[in-house]
Structure 1
């Protein structure tokens, strides 16, 4: 059997008929990450068009692989032999558009990864029944709502609208406020601003892609969009949808109808006809970091797509990430803020003193206690804490050694009041726990989670309802009645009319985390919570002073991001430079580093011991990052194709490749 011939990278060509199909395989193997040429049989000529799913033969034992036709040509370049024919056309729907293919290829090359890995994120698994129903609906030419009128974008004058109309790139400072929609729903003001910008885009006959971190933000933005657009102009695509709904929404995105596409990080790869706007809200959120190879951050994918499509790009948020600030500093993004916006009233306090016994018991500084007591009479009070659960971390009550599981050595926790301590990793109950250091049997609480905080504040505010919002209890909205709302960072519900007070209770504990980005992360968590307060309501920051507290109190987050970026430049840390982690066995890592060691400006830290081998950190300027990615990708391919001896007693077993490259690895900063 003759296999398809490998070709070099191809830029997507306009859809046209040809005798040869260039196919990208749906395979995680790095050595197969290129286009293969296959002959189009006469019986498949009508269906074998660019973008459709196909199956193709491989060299070994009659195996077939799945893939997508990227383009069709008249002849195979550089191959004079007989091409293998396509095995089948799985579906007549061209699910891979030229724009998405170009984005996947560029993003993968930038990250030293494979385009097929990105296509698995971009294109949902096929649902046959859904696809057939959708095809029939398209053949019937369904009615489409009239284009909406273009609304004004409140709070920014004409500056923002003019930049959007010119398809410019924008770093947008949103207004810290909650507003009520005509439907009665309360949402963050940011959602209304983005919805108005998206509605203007649709009114101009273009599509907008709106990317948000999680379902809470998605629900708010969807509610705001519904005020300006009919339902058939809004399409939600996110991982929380059932497979059938997600695939149906994906197919809708393939049509020519200008619409708003709303989703989480993978929505940046959604197909879109005439893309006019690409928006990412709160781009510093770690949920935008893709955990699967090639680990492309949603912001980076959006930057690439903007360059390829020429659409407007908006990075919006209450704070500004160091990555966005770098783009502002080099003039690549235009920084835009509201004309007139009143900043939240931030009060900075020290740790709890001994003026009020009840305040000390509830671990609230006296000033915060008094402000909360006054505010609770007129509405809900938000209390932001660091961790969920009752007691997320416990220690020996005698010697203060960390309490660990006797089964797996994981840290112990107390899940609820009166519960026995259990392991956070394996879940084993640590009944009859004895400290291995001092043989003590009593435990003390090192940290207090949402459950313990709710218990303490419930005693401090008798008769006041206490609500908990964290990963286990999903509360997205609360009424404007007196209540205590205990929430972990990022899980704060929206209160009708805004919160009467906001207490940032564990600020010092959050800031103590060992991570280079912890300063900007804390400022983002606190700013997002402060934006939920009603106008004039106190936002109390406890236990933190200095530049970070000053940035929150004066609402000058861009200035903090600029200072943070200057420090990163002095230290040559991301995002001032690009960095990549190279991990694997010592020999493979050494071979990969030898490829990039002589690049101008490259510096290597390590290797140091890591899980299953060693890890080294490569730092280099942005101008050299593309060449480094190409060289490291070549090292990964060579490592994957290298023959490795099977372990003794495992004849026929082929050990997996050991070399792994990850650009912009967030663990580098830990």
Structure 2
């Protein structure tokens, strides 16, 4: 076995296997470098280094994955250029997760590690190294997870039917789901294990933070928030590296947090589109969590009022166990047909809102944000009603009642218990103290008209989220929706509807019953990649031009069974590397060589349908 140069004492590690930080697919593997004498003992697995990249004749950033005494690479190894930081920021568990997730998605592990390991901030790092090490704190007591039987949420994998409603915690009203997840996390903390809680946006993070603050001291909780400054985010990341249990809260990238002795990963509303990663290789946070659970053996919980189709599929397979409250408390949903004489708000719903305003706030959910419709009406132009126009019309109808507009441009997190009309778009509904005295869900048919394979699933989630904010016994009027969707809301059996939906998709061989992938590039490159994928078990669903006819680029959508996933991903990955390493064609002008053609692959791209 070749060595890396001068003989080293037995057992002394002189070779570092590193992963170079590069989007180039041909560099997505480990490279061996020699550890210089001055850095022996300092270059350890997980640290950041700089290494020479001979092909590009430059110095590249890299992460050390392993070290060893010898190398299988023949000849003399190139020495590491520089040790950037002595802090091991990459744990073996996170690298294994990144590697497995990248392979499943036919992507680069370094792209995922860029999400998992934040950019370095020297001042933050220096302060963290010089921090005072506090004595070990006694673990908190394990709270009871009220509302569920003792064995319903034990160790294992669960789909949790979250209880609807709002509760008061230390003077602030939050969703009851947040209390349930917080108690599950603290129960793990009491056993000396960490918990990762993944939520879609900052509003949910705020609720979880308040729920946890009522159960444990702040030092047990680490928040990884997109609203944090880059230094604050890096400081939070360094806290998760400490060899102590923590509860880590964050958005989709929190699933890669290097939590110590991980005991639980819990999701709230995994069907929310914000959990879909927008950067290559586009690994959904739920898929990363499923991989991590299999690798670590931790508990896994997907909580929601209305389950996603992906979770319902796993329940049907027996891979997830359904956990429901012992006493099921459901909102009082009233299916209200549309009224031709009152097209915007049917008389029955209007009467319910008028009566409820005497007792407290009323929520009206609409489809469109903004005030474009109101401005268009002022110009005499027709346009479907939006939140702004609805708020304007209701303010005229109820001149003595406060009207609150809540949407992306006008965020409102909480309101009091005083009478008010709250017009909110889906996902922007504020929490009312004590719950809303009535909820009106408008624009249902318009929401269902959106072109998406997941439209029914999304609408159930949006309507359920708004209905769960109602006070006990308050009426929730779902306007213009009947059939199976209406029945699912009226009986609060969204999981039954989703089970039928998954069964229909299985019959049609649509996701999540099968996996899909989109392949985009020039006709020749796509053809070659698709042929390799077909040989691995994929089937072509469609091929269409990209950027219009005559552009020379096409996109092909493939379908394949889960059992063929690894082979199809491997075939497409090989096609990507082959394309990236192919010779550049001479350009037709003085610019020399034109860039090599690219091949873009996106696995599990449900929007491709």
TM-score bracket for this pair, using the shorter chain length: over 0.9
Query: Cα offset for 1:668?
Result: 2.0
Task: Tell me the equivalent position of 1:500.
Answer: 437
- Is residue 39 of structure 1 aligned with residue 20 of structure 2? no
- Structure 1 residue runs without a partner (length 5+): 5-15, 393-413, 421-441
Pairwise mapping of residues 158-177 of structure 1 onto structure 2 (< 5 A)?
158-161=150-153, 163=154, 167-177=155-165
Task: Tell me the equivalent position of 2:368.
Answer: 387
SS in structure 2 at match of 1:516: coil
SS in structure 2 at match of 1:284: coil
Taking structure 1 as reference, are residues 417 and 482 closer, same or farther at Cα in structure 2, changes over 3 Å only?
farther
Query: Cα offset for 1:214?
Result: 0.3
Q: Could you tell me how far apart the structure 1 residues matched to 2:192 and 2:347 are?
A: 56
Query: Cα offset for 1:17?
Result: 5.4
Q: Which residue of 532, 540, 563 maps to 1:623?
A: 563
Q: Which residue of 563, 573, 589 maps to 1:633?
A: 573
Q: Which residue of 491, 513, 517 maps to 1:580?
A: 517
Pairwise mapping of residues 188-587 of structure 1 onto structure 2 (< 5 A)?
188-354=175-341, 363-391=344-372, 418=378, 443-445=381-383, 447-587=384-524
* Contact kept in structure 2, 1:238 and 1:246, CA below 8 Å: yes
- Is residue 49 of structure 1 aligned with residue 49 of structure 2? no
SS in structure 2 at match of 1:553: helix
Q: Could you tell me how far apart the structure 1 residues matched to 2:12 and 2:333 are?
A: 64
When the two structures are superposed, what TM-score results if normalisation uses the length of structure 2?
0.96
When the two structures are superposed, what TM-score results if normalisation uses the length of structure 1?
0.87
Q: Could you tell me how far apart the structure 1 residues matched to 2:220 and 2:590 are?
A: 57
RMSD of aligned alpha carbons? 1.6
SS in structure 2 at match of 1:176: coil
* CA offsets 1:364-391 (integer angstroms, 9 cap, x no match): 0010000000001111111111111113
Q: Which residue of 56, 61, 65 maps to 2:60?
A: 65
* Contact kept in structure 1, 2:511 and 2:606, CA below 8 Å: no
* Contact kept in structure 1, 2:522 and 2:597, CA below 8 Å: no
Task: Tell me the equivalent position of 1:187.
Answer: 174
Task: Tell me the equivalent position of 1:645.
Answer: 585
Pairwise mapping of residues 67-146 of structure 1 onto structure 2 (< 5 A)?
67-77=62-72, 79-137=73-131, 140-146=132-138
Q: Could you tell me how far apart the structure 1 residues matched to 2:354 and 2:593 are?
A: 67
* CA offsets 1:249-269 (integer angstroms, 9 cap, x no match): 000000011110000000000
Q: Could you tell me how far apart the structure 2 residues matched to 1:17 and 1:102 are?
A: 24
Q: Could you tell me how far apart the structure 1 residues matched to 2:136 and 2:360 are?
A: 44
Q: Could you tell me how far apart the structure 2 residues matched to 1:616 and 1:648 are?
A: 29
* CA offsets 1:147-182 (integer angstroms, 9 cap, x no match): 111000010021234x1xxx300000010110001x
* CA offsets 1:290-336 (integer angstroms, 9 cap, x no match): 01000000000000000011100000000111100111111100111
SS in structure 2 at match of 1:590: helix
Query: Cα offset for 1:538?
Result: 0.6
Q: Could you tell me how far apart the structure 1 residues matched to 2:133 and 2:408 are?
A: 43
Query: Cα offset for 1:461?
Result: 1.5
Q: Could you tell me how far apart the structure 2 residues matched to 1:296 and 1:598 are?
A: 24
Taking structure 1 as reference, are residues 344 and 584 closer, same or farther at Cα in structure 2, changes over 3 Å only?
same
Instruction: State the aligned residue count.
Output: 597
Q: Which moved more, 1:552-561 or 1:57-66?
A: 57-66
Query: Cα offset for 1:648?
Result: 3.3
Q: Could you tell me how far apart the structure 2 residues matched to 1:417 and 1:83 are?
A: 72
Task: Tell me the equivalent position of 2:539.
Answer: 603
